[in-house]
Amino acid sequence: MSAAAPRKVLVLNGPNLGRLGSREPDVYGSTSYAGLVERCTRLGRELGLEVEVRETNDEGEMIRWLHEAADASLPVVLNPAAFTHYSYGMRDAAAQRTAPLIEVHISNPHAREEFRHTSVVAAVASGTIAGFGIGSYELALRALADDRPQG
Ligand code: DQA
């Protein structure tokens, strides 16, 4: 009997995250976006997940990716970046999920400016992991691999 195919997971990143490494390294660290992709895909392989990492500065594209995930029942690790704080369109797309969706943040938005304290996505996510640097993504992938998310 052949081994089970790895479960596919989408790691979706919102605006400005493609600039990791050079973007405010005191807040977001020195790992580049390419480094993030590498760490997520490598950990995914170890956990038996086929991880595909994407990033966009475009709200419509993010919404289309969330529709794609809902239609294919794909689990999602979502760093909505600034969309977190105001995009009801993205929230409504995330609410259509048919598999776990974990909201992640590199920084801890609650320890930062007040406008970052609101997440319009949190209430429709399975859970949120924030403040552990790039490690937030790794914790989310481990939670998905362990089937920890409830929703
Ligand atoms: C972020 C936090 C957001 O407030 C911010 O707009 C980002 C990144 C994070 O990963 O810490 O772009 O989502």
Binding-site sequence positions for substrate:
79, 85, 92, 106-107, 116
> Alpha helices, DSSP H only, in 83-147?
88-94, 135-145
Strand residue runs (E) in 42-150: 49-55, 76-79, 101-105, 127-130
Q: pLDDT class for 147, splitting at 50, 70, 90?
A: confident
Mean pLDDT of 36-52: 98
Q: Report the nearest-CA residue for atom 7 of ligand 1.
A: 81
Gap between the Cα atoms of 29 and 9, Å rounded:
24
Q: In the prediction, which pLDDT does 112 show?
A: 96
pLDDT higher than 80, residue 149 = no
Residues involved in catalysis: 28, 105
> 52-95: per-residue pLDDT in tens?
999 999 999 999 999 999 999 999 999 999 999 999 999 999 99
pTM of the full structure = 0.95
pLDDT higher than 70, residue 4 = no
Of 5, 81, 17, 89, nearest to 49 by C-alpha is 5
Percent of the chain beyond pLDDT 90?
A: 93
Ligand 1 proximity of 82 Cβ (cutoff 6 Å)? yes
Binding-site sequence positions:
79, 85, 92, 106-107, 116
Q: In the prediction, which pLDDT does 150 show?
A: 58
> 9-29: per-residue pLDDT in tens?
999 999 999 999 999 999 999
Compute how many other C-beta atoms are within 10 angstroms of the C-beta atom of residue 89: 15
Gap between the Cα atoms of 107 and 129, Å rounded:
10
CA of 14 to the centre of ligand 1 (A): 9
Q: In the prediction, which pLDDT does 1 show?
A: 47
Class of domain 7-146 as given by CATH: alpha beta
**Nearest ligand 1 atom, CA 17:** 12
Q: Where are the domains of the chain?
A: 7-146
